Copies of this chain bind each other. A is one copy, B any other.
Amino acid sequence: MSKRIGKQTVELINRPKIISTGTVVGPKEGEGPLSKYFDVILEDDKNGQETFEKAESSLVTTAVNKALEKANLKNTDIHYIFAGDLLNQLSASTFALRGLEIPFIGLYGACSTMALSLSMAAMNVDGEFSDYSIAATSSHFSTAERQFRTPLEYGGQKKVTSQWTVTASGAAIVSSKGGEIYPQITHVTTGKIMDYGITDANNMGAAMAPAAVDTIKQHLRDTGRTPDYYDVIATGDLGSYGMELTKKLLLEYGYDVSKVYIDCGVEIFKENNGDKSNPDKCGDKCLDGVMCGGSGCGCSASVFCGYLYKSLLNGKFKKVLLVSTGALLSTTTSLQGESIPGIAHAVAIEFGGAKC
């Protein structure tokens, strides 16, 4: 029995559940309107470590351990961990996880990695290869600046279309166990690499928008759903500019997502108008200095594992489509004049999603 529906989507017949999440964010992310949804907010973005890279690893460890602790599980209960990050050779993840003794699958999808790791963990559980799998990812403002742009000491200026790499990690435990009280992963739509020839590394939203559009469109076509089937369709981190582009392009394909559409990169850094307890009261303006909004794997990881997951648990949302988006460039490819391909992966998380 094939689980495939349509061109790029599979339905997960066994309905893997997300039984727990763990999140940790940096001080700046803790100033945003989603602060109450995060498990740990750092006071120091070095988290007591010698280097930013080691700090990022410590975030991954913190998020994974939080998720384990909340599910009352030990590392030895976990059959696989699917993880990756933005650093060269996934060093934030591998150095964080080397002590955990869990079979490790390293993934790279740039900022799409949270939806990618959730997709893979969900298929793994659905295919009966594991009872418990972890999906995790991270990013850190200062490691990303050093690796992709310029060292912080250089004081490089941001452009209006730039985004601010989120310092955060999120981990989710996906399981065949647990009852209907947990949100279930019902569908996975895996993205293709899209390249519309964008070469401006300060405008990643534009580079990633076509990938988000393609994956959302394909998900809706494959499942026969309309945008308003979902309470929320959340793109990973297109920022305010990429978000507008995505809305407009989807409308050209006949899909009006405007009523349910949010972007994790915009949500995490929305100016909260002094009311931290209610993200719905925020306007569309972002915190000072973050320009178009947040980016980095840790962005959709922390927003999903924090705000969206907890809003599923508390009944605010019943059906969420997470569409993390990634820009697949490297400093070498940019120096060699290459364009910036994008990718987006979608995961549907629901209560009581009808089985096909």
Contact = CB atoms under 8 A, between A and B. Distances in A.
A223 interface: no
A86 B190 CA distance: 23
A67 interface: no
A51 B330 CA distance: 15
A338 B53 CA distance: 11
- Chain A interface size band reads 35 or more
Chain copies in the assembled complex: 2
A333 B53 contact: yes
Contacts of A4: 79, 129-131
Given A91-B333, A130-B4, A330-B91, A103 B341 contact: no
A328 B333 CA distance: 22
Interface stretch (A118-126, A200-208, A247-255, A301-309): A118-126
Interface string A1-22: 1111000101000000000000
Interface string A80-105: 10001011111100110110111111
A239 interface: no
16 contacts: A2-B131, A4-B129, A53-B332, A84-B106, A91-B328, A94-B193, A95-B333, A97-B193, A98-B193, A98-B328, A101-B192, A105-B116, A105-B190, A123-B124, A126-B127, A147-B332
